[in-house]
Structure 1
Amino acid sequence: MNDDYLPLAYLNAWEYCPRRFYWEYVLGEMADNEHILMGRYLHDNINEPGESHQGDTLIRRQQWVWSDRLKVNGIIDAVEERENKLIPLEYKKGRISQHLNDHFQLCAATLCLEERLTVSIPYGEIFYHGNRRRQRVDFTPELRQMTESAIALSRESVDGAMPPPIRNSKKCRDCSLLGICLPKEVKLLRQPVSSTQSPPF
């Protein structure tokens, strides 16, 4: 596949934090923490490509997808087929909530499937290990537009400067690149120094 196609996993990183996306995709920096290791462990059982049946459902695992229009590609964890309907499925280690980064990744994979198969897919699902439950994600016009906009913005950012740290300290705390990104230190250095203050170094 062409090198200039954006991998779907990096679209997830972009929505989580544009600065993380820049570190990983543009600069090639990677690091592990407990969240990354747990996610990798949970995927061990689903990372083998192949087909299986569960009742009247055909499950195709580890499907390679791409879009020439959007210039994105990647692997979706599974695509289920039942009653002549396709249901894209992603597995995540966390708990159910409105994770737009997960929704964007699933929606982008679906846009790829629709382009390749010339079908319309109304919804997909995300299995969250933290709840042992699936969350239905409806591919509304709004979600589709937001996903395509995120793809365009992430691609544009590649040629720009590194984004500043985000304000969500919880995301920073859980990020595997915390020790590389140093968001607190960068924020401190960016603060204006008054005439009565000493420089923070």
Structure 2
Amino acid sequence: MADLPDYLPLSFLNQLVYCPRRFWLMYVESEMLVNAPVLEGMLRHQRAHTPGQMRDEAGRVIRSVHVWSDALRIAGIADFVEERDGTMIPLEHKNGRTGKWINDQVQLCAQALCLEERTGQRIGRGEIFYWGSRRRETIDLTDDLRQRTVATIEQAFTLLEAGALPPPIDHAAKCRDCSLEPICLPRETLQLLSEESRQP
């Protein structure tokens, strides 16, 4: 990729943690297959991304908050930011149930890092609401998660600078649940790569 973006959309960090090849296909090649779960998630995010705010006795909830970090070169939209007792809590809505992987947590942490840079306020936790289970999961923004998030951002720019489609991951469960599996063709590609490596 000749020109690196000034700011990487932070939602693509979610894709990168899940699978580098998925990240490349979606961000660089703009591939997108809309199946039922994807469409459901898109419609729910449309509602969440309508700007506005609500107030109650505990504080206020701001919807569709633009966030960015000049230091990390990422930008995006936080679904919600709650202000409770002088503390900000980023809240991300996700389709389905609690994920098996850490990609949702990295996206949430990236939002928090942006908010911290903009406000100078330390954010100790965030929350993810999963529509499938109707539950809010509290995510502690630990040093390990912060380091993983920064490393993911660096990995994204490194991949883009390299300018090559990453190979498929060898992970049957992730590939089975990936909407881009028919485009990625992970099993077929891995088989071809294996055959090529055995050729004299």
TM-score scaled by length of structure 1: 0.90
Q: Secondary structure at the match of 1:81?
A: strand
Structure-2 residue corresponding to 1:89: 91
More helix by share: 2
Tell me the CA shift for residue 25 of structure 1: 1.3
- Which deviates the most, 88-97 or 36-45? 36-45
The 1-side partners of 2:73 and 2:132 are apart by 32
Are the aligned partners of 1:19 and 1:165 in contact in 2 as well (CA < 8 Å)? yes
Are the aligned partners of 1:35 and 1:174 in contact in 2 as well (CA < 8 Å)? no
Are the aligned partners of 1:15 and 1:101 in contact in 2 as well (CA < 8 Å)? yes
Structure-2 residue corresponding to 1:155: 157
Corresponding letter in the other structure for 1:27: E
Two-structure CA RMSD over aligned residues (Å): 2.0
The answer for unaligned runs of 5 or more in structure 1 is 196-201
Q: Secondary structure at the match of 1:124?
A: strand
- Which deviates the most, 28-37 or 125-134? 28-37
1:184 equivalent among 171, 184, 187: 187
The 2-side partners of 1:135 and 1:98 are apart by 13
The 1-side partners of 2:105 and 2:197 are apart by 43
TM-score scaled by length of structure 2: 0.91
Q: 1:60-79 counterparts in 2 under 5 A?
A: 60-79=62-81
Number of equivalent positions? 195
Are the aligned partners of 1:11 and 1:104 in contact in 2 as well (CA < 8 Å)? yes
2:36 equivalent among 34, 37, 51: 34
Tell me the CA shift for residue 193 of structure 1: 6.9
Q: Secondary structure at the match of 2:155?
A: helix
Q: 1:87-126 counterparts in 2 under 5 A?
A: 87-126=89-128
The 1-side partners of 2:197 and 2:109 are apart by 47
Q: Secondary structure at the match of 1:28?
A: coil
The answer for unaligned runs of 5 or more in structure 2 is none
Corresponding letter in the other structure for 2:169: I
